[in-house]
Amino acid sequence: MSWWKVKMSFLSVLQMVNLSARFLLEIFALAVYGYWGFKVGNTSIMKVFFSIVIPIGIAILWGAFGSPKASIQLSAQLHLLLEALIFLVPAGLLLSLKNVKLAWFYGFAVIVNRIFMMLLDQ
């Protein structure tokens, strides 16, 4: 096998791993939104309502404007802003819930993933 084919297959694997990490970060972000909604609700009904409605609203927002197959394409700057809001707000929510280590780990993972997305042209 030539050096070029090895390099290309490594790049393909790296892209696949990065996209998989991105998907996991998306799922984790939705879970954080739901957990935060549950924690801030005053009554049982509000806890359930917030823990369901907030993640669904975020998922709809991301699906309509931010995902790769979004029906409405945003400019690069607006897309980056939306992405920062959707993916970095959960770090702030975790901080507000006094989960500092997880907030820092998640925020760091989001930033590293985004850097790799730019480098790998994803």
pLDDT in tens, 83-93: 999 999 999 99
**Whole-angstrom Cα distance, residue 120 to residue 24?**
18
Q: What is the pLDDT of residue 2?
A: 67
Weakly modelled stretches of the chain, pLDDT under 70: 1-8
pTM of the model: 0.88
**Whole-angstrom Cα distance, residue 21 to residue 92?**
20
Q: What is the pLDDT of residue 46?
A: 96
Q: What is the pLDDT of residue 76?
A: 92
**Whole-angstrom Cα distance, residue 93 to residue 116?**
24
